[in-house]
Amino acid sequence: MRNIIWFRRDLRIGDHPALVEAIKNSEEIVPLFILDKQQIAEAGEKLLAYMGQSLRALDESLGNKLHIIEGDQVEVLKELIARYDVKEVHISAEYERYGAQRDARVEAAGIPLVRTGSPYAVAPGRVVKPSDATPYRVYTPFYRAWRTHGWRAPAVTPKNIKAPTPPEEYRKFPDFKMPKDVTVIAAGEAAALKRFKEFTKNGLDGYDENRNFAAIDGTSKMSTYLKFGEIHPRTLLANLGESTAHDTFRKEIAWREFYADVLFNNPNTDTEYYAPRFKAMRFDKPGKQFAAWCAGKTGYPFVDAAMRQLVQEGWMHNRTRMVVASFLVKDLHLEWQLGERFFAEHLVDYDVASNAHGWQWTAGTGTDASPYYRVFNPIEQGRRFDVNGDYIRKYVPELKHLSAAEIHEPWLFLDGYSKGYSERIVDHAVERIESLERLKEIKEEKPEQPPRRSS
C-alpha cells in the first residue's frame, strides 16, 4: 500500500506537512504533479516556463521519482490509485476558487483527499473577529488577530523519501520556453532557501528603510517562491524578532495572508469590485493609451521603467506596482481589471488574491480605509523612490543620458527627447482632477458592506 502526495502550489520537500503526513503511514509515496490543460491555457508564458524549471528542481529533490502526467485530475488519480494500490491521496489545502473547486470535484468523484497544511501560516477563514466571528475587512485589526492566533513551527524535512520509479509515460516534463530576452529569478526550493538566507544576512535588518526604493535590491523576492510553494511562509516567519525591520517584514507576509482571507470570504472579488458602488463609475474604454501603458511608453519615466521591468523580468517592485496601477485607474480612467489581467499575463509571482486585491487597494475600490482620493503622482513618486534615477536608467535606455535632476521630467530639458523617448500621453495634473470629478458623480458615501461569501 502506498500514499500519493499530489503537489500543486507546494513544490518543495522542506516544511511540508502534507508530505510528512503522506510518508507517516506508508512504506512508499507516489509523488505526483498533474499538468492541468485549463490552467496552462490561461497562464502567462513566463510563469509556465518558471513552473517547468521548478518541477525539474522538485524532481531532483525527489531522486527523479516525480510522476508528471497531463490529463484530467480524476482520471489521472484513479489510474495511479489502481496501479500503485494507493491508500490515501495527500494534499496541502487550497482556498482560492479554482483550486478549491477542483479538489471538491475530485472528492465528488469518490477520491478522498487528506488535507494537511496550506500555502499560508494561518489558513484563510481562521482569523475572525472575537466579537461576532465574522471576517476582518480592514488589515490592521486582522494583523493583530493573526499574530495572536499564531502558527506552528516549520515541519521537519523528511530525510529519506521512498518512491517507485515512474515509467516513461509518467515523466511528461513540460517544455515551456522562457520568452526571448526575459530573465526571471532562479527557480526551485534550493534557490528560494539560498535567496532567503542572503536576504536574512544582508537585507532583512534594513528592510523597513530600503523596501520602497525601486533601484535597491532591498526586498526579499520571496513572492515567486511563495506562489509556487517552493518555500512556506512559516519558514520566513520562524526566526523573525521584534525590531521594526523584522516587524515590517512580518507585516508584509501578513498582507498576503489578509488578501487570501478576503478573497476566501468574498470569492467574486478576483474580478468584481470589493466596494460595489465603483461599478457605477464612469470609466474609459481601453485604446491607444492602454497600449502605451502596456508597452511602457506613457511618457512618465517611473511608470515606463516599471512596465518594462514587468515584461523583462516577470516581476515588479511593490512601490512601482502601486504607481502603475494608480496611473492606469486614475490617470487613464480605465478599470482595474484590465491592469490586473496584464499583470497576470506577465508576473511570475502572479497570485490571484494578492494581485486582485493589490489592484483594488490601489484603485481605491478595495479594502483600503482611505479609498479613491489617493492619487499617486508619478513624478513625485519617482523623485522620492528612485532618487538618482538608476531604476529609470536601467529600464528606459532612451533616458540614460539624463542626470538625476532631469530624468523625472524629461519634458523640461532640451535634450530630454533626443534619444527617442515618448511624449506624455496625458497630463497628470489634469487627469487627477478629472478622476476626482468622476468620483463625485457616484457620490461617495459611508463604506458599504462588501458582498458576503456565497459558498
Rule CB under 6 A: which residues touch ligand FAD? 211, 219-223, 226-227, 252-253, 255-256, 259, 318, 321-322, 325, 343, 347, 349-351, 354-355, 358-359, 362
Q: How far is the CB of 214 from ligand FAD (least distance, A)?
A: 10
Nearer to ligand FAD, 106 or 121 (CB): 121
Q: How far is the CB of 81 from ligand FAD (least distance, A)?
A: 34
Nearer to ligand FAD, 157 or 248 (CB): 248
Nearer to ligand FAD, 2 or 195 (CB): 195
Q: How far is the CB of 354 from ligand FAD (least distance, A)?
A: 4
Nearer to ligand FAD, 26 or 92 (CB): 92
Q: How far is the CB of 164 from ligand FAD (least distance, A)?
A: 35
Label each residue of the chain as H, E or C.
CEEEEEECCCCCCCCCHHHHHHHHCCCEEEEEEEECHHHHHHCCHHHHHHHHHHHHHHHHHCCCCCEEEECCHHHHHHHHHHHHCEEEEEECCCCCHHHHHHHHHHHHCCCCEEECCCCCCCCCCCCECCCCCCECCCHHHHHHHHHHHCCCCCCCCCCCCCCCCCCHHHECCCCCCCCCCCCCCCCCHHHHHHHHHHHHHHCHHHHHHHCCCCCCCCCCCCHHHHHCCCCCHHHHHCCCCCCHHHHHHHHHHHHHHHHHHHHHHCHHHHCCCCCHHHHHCCCCCCCHHHHHHHHCCCCCHHHHHHHHHHHHHCCCCHHHHHHHHHHHHHHCCCCHHHHHHHHHHHCCCCCHHHHHHHHHHHHCCCCCCCCCCCCCCHHHHHHHHCCCCHHHHHHCHHHCCCCCCCCCCHHHCCCCCCCCCCCCCCCHHHHHHHHHHHHHHCCCCCCCCCCCCCC
Q: How far is the CB of 30 from ligand FAD (least distance, A)?
A: 30
Nearer to ligand FAD, 84 or 350 (CB): 350
Nearer to ligand FAD, 297 or 346 (CB): 346
In the bound state, the residue with its beta carbon closest to ligand FAD is 358
Q: How far is the CB of 78 from ligand FAD (least distance, A)?
A: 34
